[in-house]
Every structure is written in C-alpha cells, then in structure tokens.
Structure 1
Amino acid sequence: MDTLTVIWIVVGALVVVAIIGAIWVGSALASMRRLSASVDERWRALASTLERRRAVAAPLLATAAEPQREQADRAFSALEGALLPGSKAEAEAEVQRVLRPLVHAAASQPLGSQAADARTALAALDDEAQARRRDYNTGARELNAKGRRFPTSLWANAAAVPRQFFEVDQTGAVAEPPRIQF
C-alpha cells in the first residue's frame, strides 16, 4: 500500500470514531436533559401536593384557638415559600407538627362532621404526598447516579446535579407513641 492510501484510511477511521463519539455524547446529554426535566416535573407535583394541605386543613384550623391558627399560618407560609427540597422538608415537618394536635382532636368528632372529613382528606393527602416524595427521590437518585458517570459527569453541573432528596424528619412522630382509647 502506498502512503496516501494509509493516510486516507487513518483519516477515515478518525472521522468514524469522532462521529460515533459525538453521537454517544449527544445521546447522553439528551438523556440527562430528559431525566432532569422529569425530576423537575416530579418536584413540582410534590410541591403542589404539599401546598394543597392548607386548603384541606381549613376546617380543622377553623375550630383551633387563635395562637394555634397563627402558628399554622406561619408553618404553611414557610412551606409555600420554601423552594429547595431541604427547606421544604423542614417546613413540611413543622406543618405536620402543628397539625398533629388538631388531627388528634378531630378523631373524637363524629363521622360526617367537617373535622372528621378534613382528617380523612388529610390522611389521603399525606398518602399522596408520600407516594410523590418516593417518586421524586427515585428520580433524583437516578439523576445523581447518571451525573456521576462519564460522559454526563462533564456537564452535570449544568443540569443541577446532584439533586437534594426530600426527606422529612419523622422523629417527632416517633417520639410520641400513638394513643389508643377503648
């Protein structure tokens, strides 16, 4: 073989490798963007679910004492104002702490009353929030794992990786055992 043929073969091989590399990097970048958008959507759904709690808890707050309503109003305002998962989780823990006595008091209300209905609606909303929290944390875990792998690790900061997890401190719920009345 002459030298010119060898040069053309090497140049052709380099072009093919460059095209394959560009396709690989492009697909990894597109995958990272899709996953990041999915995590953002999951976060919006979780935040929306948490912020609906104020409307659902309104019948319970209507029967509460003024200091308790003010405390709940501050907790709900902090929840709505929190933007990041860590701060929203702290605000969510505070909302749960504030609502716990009201929910316990609603347990003694007869079925069909507004307080009993609000308690049932809050329980359903808590279940939905728990499912959305798991969904968001799963997406954040996948995004964080993908952000640590090559080649996505090269632009992980542009996709806001790593993402914080949404973990509510449940020590207050565990510190006091449930009361059972017969």
Structure 2
Amino acid sequence: MIKLNYLIESLKKNDEKAIRDFYDENKIGFFLFAKRYNLQSDDICDIYQDAIVALIENAKKGKIDDLKSSLSTYLFGIGKCMIFQKFKKESRNCAFDECEEVEVMYEEYNEERINLQIIELQKGFGKLGEQCRKLLRLFYYEEKRLDEILSDLGYINKDVLKSQKSRCLKQLKVLAKI
C-alpha cells in the first residue's frame, strides 16, 4: 500500500520520472489488452495517453486517494471505458453502455492478474530475438512511426516491416502465454 500511496502522491505533484516509469511499465500490457478490441495502434496509443492524463487528473482531484485496486487496474479500467466510449461514438456495438467514472476494480482485470501478465510480458520480451525487441521497443516505447522504423532498422518496404511487427507480437504473446 505504501507504493500505491507514493505513486498517487507522485502523480499529484506531477513527478515526471514517476509518471514516465508508470507509463512505460504499463504500456505494452495496455496495448495487448486493447488489441482484443480490434483497434488500430494509433487509436490505442491515443486512448492510452488520454487514460494516463485522466488518471493524473483524478489523482490531483483526490478521487483515487482511497483506491482499493492498483493504479494499473484503475488505468486499465479508464482505458476500457474510453474504448467503449469510442465505440459508442462510432456506433459500434459494445456490451458496456455507461462509463462516467471508474471507481471500481474490474473483476476481469484484477491487480494480481495484471501484475502476472506484466511479469510474463517482461520475461517474454527478454526471450525475443534482438530484431524483434528493437522493433517493438521503437514502435511501442519510442512511439516511432513505421516509416521512421523502416529506415532505422534497414527494412526495404513497409509491408515487410508490418508483417515482421505482427510476427514479433504473436511471438511475444506465445512467450508470455497471453
């Protein structure tokens, strides 16, 4: 609970290092979670960043001072609501109608499960080949566009790079048992 309280206080103070660390720790897990909703990577990135901003704002307003879940669980809940709101705007079907405030722990994504998935992702990432690690790091952590990665890693065309990124993600999912 000390770490949770420390993180909340760090968010309230706009501690850039703590925010960046939290952002990086949860990004791959959030992307894998959001991929199951068949969203484009750009949309997932936008939703993730919006969810982080909402989390910080809620911390500053004192809305999460008595949080019963981890910040990661709360963040995923915010992201899930934002995904469903996006579907609602696009008139896509979804089973979740209302999502004004996230103050409950989502059973489907409880803290223990998310933490285990993050650990498995980290282990799986370490087992990937050098090229896959570079590619996924550039795309997800450094948020580079495929055109930039194309020249950085020496790929000949964008379609080959997309296929390689897809294979790397599939391999990561297998290694992480997700």
| TM-score interval, smaller chain | under 0.3
Q: Which has the higher helix share?
A: 1
* Structure having greater relative contact order (Cα 8 Å, sep ≥ 6): 1
Decide which structure has the larger Cα Rg and report it.
1
